[in-house]
Amino acid sequence: MIKGVIFDMDGVLVDNRDVHIEAFRRLFTKYGLTFDREKFMPSFGMTNDLIFKWQAPELLERFDLEQLSQEKEALYRMLFEKAIAPTAGLIDFLAGLRENGVKISVGSSGGSANVNFVLTRCGIATYFNAIANGDMITRGKPDPEVYLLAAQLLGLKPEECVVCEDAPVGIQAARAAGMRVVALATTFPREKLEDYDLIIDDFTQLTPRQVIELG
């Protein structure tokens, strides 16, 4: 039986793909690099250390990873400040999960600052029983560490959890953790996503009962 739902953040709690892309584009441009959106997309959902390793290793030769990450995330929050909003149907879905006694967690590659920014500005922090984020793990997605940690913090077994994910690397992480998956076609089109139990465009198309019955 499903007892917990773990939400990725970017592309799931908020539909923010283009904001992250613009923040990376501005950062790359500042340091004289060409930003290739098509090349970048497969790394969407990874932690910043993996993104910079694969997308801009030359920057890591010149600058500290923490400096680059903080600069990029500050750009992201500045750009998203006025437009931030929860994904369609999210708040009603969260309320429905809580009414059905389902535990709720974040399982995000994003750091504490970004997670707190989203939960606070969207007014949804009180729905979550636990938070697992990129500052709490040593291995980013597609490694399952963040989802296993989220389940542990909820006091649940992996097989008792469903993950809501928007990115292929996140779906891989959820499956590696032994969890069911609801995919959101927000960041990637439906044809780019696979190995899920359900797929939706947003949370208006999903009910708590559908999720519970996945177990």
Catalytic residues: 8
| 3-state SS assignment for residue 49 | helix
- Helix crossing, 48-55 with 65-80: angle to 10°? 110
| 3-state SS assignment for residue 46 | coil
DSSP H/E element including 48:
helix 48-55
User: Could you please report the per-residue DSSP string of 50-114?
Assistant: HHHHHH-HHHHHHS-HHHHHHHHHHHHHHHHTTT--BPTTHHHHHHHHHHTT-EEEEE-SS-HHH
Q: Are 167 and 44 in contact (CB under 8 A)?
A: yes
Sign of the torsion formed by the C-alpha atoms of 85, 46, 106 and 186 = positive
Q: Considering just the CA atoms, what is the radius of gyration of the chain in Å?
A: 16
